[in-house]
Amino acid sequence: MKELEELFSLLEEGTSPYQVVSHTEDYLKKAGFFGLSFGEPWDLALGEKYYVNHHGSTIFAFTMPERAERMGDIRIAAAHTDFPCLRIKPNPDVKNASYAGVNVEVYGGAILNTWLDRPLSAAGRVAVKSGEILKPDIRYVDLKKPVFTIPNLAIHMNREVNKGVELNKQIDMIPVFGMETSFLSYLAKELSVKEEDILDFELYIYCAEKPLFVGGAEEFISSPRLDNLTSVAALSRAICKAGKRNGLNVIALFDHEEIGSRTKQGAGSFMLNELLDKILLGMGMDPVAVKEAKYNSMMLSVDVAHALHPNQMGKMDITNQPVTGKGLCIKEACSQSYATDCEAIAVVQQLCEAKKIPYQKFVNRSDIPGGSTLGSIASALLPVKTVDIGLPLLAMHSARELMGKEDQKALCDCVREFFSVCQSGRK
C-alpha cells in the first residue's frame, strides 16, 4: 500500500520538525511544486503548485485553480510537525561519576517512563559561526545512530517501582551519552567544525527504533511519532493526488502544537492569514473579495484521536468508543478544545459516506478532560468552518504509539476527496 510506504518513510526520516519539513519539501518538489519565500514577491500562475518553507519547521503548500474566478473557493487542511520528546539544553555536557550525559528539558506532554531503556538519537539544527554576523551558518543534522539511552533503576534499588514511581524531569531523564565523552565535541566532529564555533542549537532527542507491523495479522503499526506524522503524510499525499476541483487547496503543517501553538511558526500566528492574503491579493482580488473568500472557506484540523483501550475501557465515553482499524475519527468537544461544529461534521460525514470511507466519532468522557488541537487556535484567527479529524491511536504520547494500519488509507482518502469534491458534490 503506497500510503503506508510513504508513512514509514516519513516516520523514519522525520526525526525532528526540521527533518519533517525537509522530507515534506522533497516530496512536494518531486510532485512538481515550486518553492516560494514569504520575504520575496510572488509571481503566481493559474494551474500551478507551490510551497513555502517557514523558519525550517513549518511548511505550507497550495495548488492554484485553473480559472481566476475560482480563487475564492478555498479548502484548507492543517496538521503539526512536532511531537513530544526531549530537547537538549545549552551547555549540554553533564558528568555523573565516570558517565557522560546531556542536560535536557521535556518538550510537550511525553509519557516519561516510556523513554527509559530505549535506543535514542538526536536531530534538529545547529547554528555555527559565519563571516556575517546577521547570517549564522545553519546546519541541519540527524545523528542517526543510537548514541543515547536513559537506564532504569534496578528493582532491587527501587522495590516500589511496580506500584508507580514519579520521574523527576531534571534528575531522572538525563540521557547517558558515554564514558568520559563530551557531547559538544562529538557534535563538532559530526559537523566538521570547531567546538567553539557552535553558537547554539535546537536538537531533539528521539526514539531511534523503527516502525513495525505488529499483531497476529500484522493489523497494527507500532512506531514513534505517529502523533502527528500520520497526518503530515496524509495531507502531503492528498494535496499531490487530489483531483482537479478548480479551487484553491492549501495544506498548513505547523510547528509547536505540542507546546501551545502560539509562536511565529505555530498555528497561533498570523501566517495562514498572511499566506491567503499573499495568494489572493497577488492574483488581483480586491480586499473585500479576499475577506469574503476566507469566510466561505473550510478547514480540516487533522490530528490523532484516542482509541478505546482494551485494558482500560472505562476511560472512554460510554457511547462513543472508536477503535483502531475501523476508520478515521471525527472529534467533538463542547469546550471547543476541538474546533468541530455540526455543519462541518455533516460535510465530512456526507463526504465519507459518498466515497465509502470508514469513520467513527470521538468524544471524551465527561469527567476526563482531553487534549486540544490546533483547530480551535487556527480557526479563531481565521474564522471558517472547521472540523477536527484524525486517526485513533493507543498509547498517545508514548515513545512508541500504536495504530491500525488500514486507518492511514481512510485518512488519506478523506483529505484527498475533501480537496477534490466540487461545490455540487461531484468531482
pLDDT tens-digit profile of 6-56? 999 999 999 999 999 999 999 999 999 999 999 999 999 999 999 999 999
Count of other CB atoms within 10 angstroms of residue 26 = 11
Q: Are residues 17 and 45 in the same domain?
A: yes
Q: What is the pLDDT of residue 180?
A: 81
Q: What is the pLDDT of residue 215?
A: 98
Question: Per residue in 265-306, pLDDT tens?
Answer: 999 999 999 999 999 999 999 999 999 999 989 999 999 999
Give the end of a domain, one of 150, 172, 207.
Answer: 207
**Is residue 170 included in any domain, yes or no?**
yes
Q: Are residues 231 and 364 in the same domain?
A: yes
Q: Which of 38-47, 254-263, 364-373, 408-417 has the lowest mean pLDDT?
A: 364-373
Q: Are residues 280 and 387 in the same domain?
A: yes
Q: Are residues 197 and 187 in the same domain?
A: yes
**Is residue 28 included in any domain, yes or no?**
yes
**Is residue 181 included in any domain, yes or no?**
yes
Check: CB of residue 417 under 8 Å from CB of residue 355. Answer: yes
Q: Are residues 269 and 381 in the same domain?
A: yes
pLDDT, mean of residues 52-65: 97
We report the CATH number of the domain holding residue 107 as 2.30.250.10
pLDDT, mean of residues 201-210: 98
Q: How confident is the model at residue 70 (pLDDT cuts 50, 70, 90)?
A: confident
pLDDT, mean of residues 101-114: 98
Percent of the chain's residues with pLDDT above 90: 84
Give the end of a domain, one of 173, 207, 241.
Answer: 207
Q: What is the pLDDT of residue 376?
A: 82
**Domain span at residue 198?**
85-207
Question: Per residue in 318-354, pLDDT tens?
Answer: 999 999 999 999 998 777 777 878 999 999 999 999 9
**Is residue 160 included in any domain, yes or no?**
yes
We report the CATH number of the domain holding residue 414 as 3.40.630.10
194 grid coordinates:
570547531
Q: Are residues 188 and 325 in the same domain?
A: no
Range 284-323 burial, b when 16+ CB lie within 10 A, else e: ebeeeebeebbeebbbbbbbbbbbbeeeeeeebbeebbbb
Residues with Cβ within 8 Å of 356's Cβ and at least 6 positions away in sequence, in order, are none
Q: Are residues 193 and 294 in the same domain?
A: no
**Is residue 241 included in any domain, yes or no?**
yes
Q: Which of 109-118, 178-187, 313-322 is modeled with the greatest confidence?
A: 109-118
Residues with Cβ within 8 Å of 348's Cβ and at least 6 positions away in sequence, in order, are 300, 330, 359, 387, 389, 414, 418
For cell 460510554, name the residue: 318
For cell 484521536, name the residue: 305
Q: Does the CA dihedral 252-255-256-261 come out positive or negative?
A: negative
pLDDT, mean of residues 185-190: 97
Q: Are residues 286 and 393 in the same domain?
A: yes
Tell if the pTM clears 0.75, that is, is over it: yes
Q: Are residues 249 and 191 in the same domain?
A: no
Residue 118, pLDDT above cutoff 80: yes
* Of residues 42, 3, 21, 395, the one with CA closest to residue 214: 395
Give me the number of domains the chain comprises.
Answer: 2
pLDDT, mean of residues 307-316: 95
Q: How confident is the model at residue 424 (pLDDT cuts 50, 70, 90)?
A: low
Q: What Å distances lie between residue 276 and 106, 124, 295, 355, CA to CA?
A: 34, 29, 12, 29
Q: What is the DSSP letter of 314?
A: G
Q: Are residues 295 and 164 in the same domain?
A: no
Residue 65, pLDDT above cutoff 60: yes
pLDDT, mean of residues 235-250: 92
When the pLDDT of each residue in the chain is averaged and rounded to a whole number, the result is 94
Question: Per residue in 381-394, pLDDT tens?
Answer: 888 899 999 999 99
Q: What Å distances lie between residue 164 and 101, 113, 158, 167, 228, CA to CA?
A: 25, 10, 11, 10, 28
Phi, psi of 112 (to 5 degrees): -60, -45
Q: Are residues 96 and 33 in the same domain?
A: no
Give the end of a domain, one of 207, 234, 258.
Answer: 207
Q: Are residues 66 and 96 in the same domain?
A: no
Residue 423, pLDDT above cutoff 70: no
**Is residue 220 included in any domain, yes or no?**
no
**Is residue 400 included in any domain, yes or no?**
yes
274 grid coordinates:
498572511
Q: What is the pLDDT of residue 337?
A: 74
**Is residue 212 included in any domain, yes or no?**
no
Q: What is the pLDDT of residue 1?
A: 86
Q: What is the pLDDT of residue 412?
A: 98
Residue 427, pLDDT above cutoff 70: no
Q: Which of 80-84, 174-178, 247-251, 372-376 has the lowest mean pLDDT?
A: 372-376
Question: Per residue in 151-181, pLDDT tens?
Answer: 999 999 999 999 988 999 999 999 999 998 8
pLDDT, mean of residues 73-96: 97
Residue 403, pLDDT above cutoff 70: yes
Count of other CB atoms within 10 angstroms of residue 271 = 22
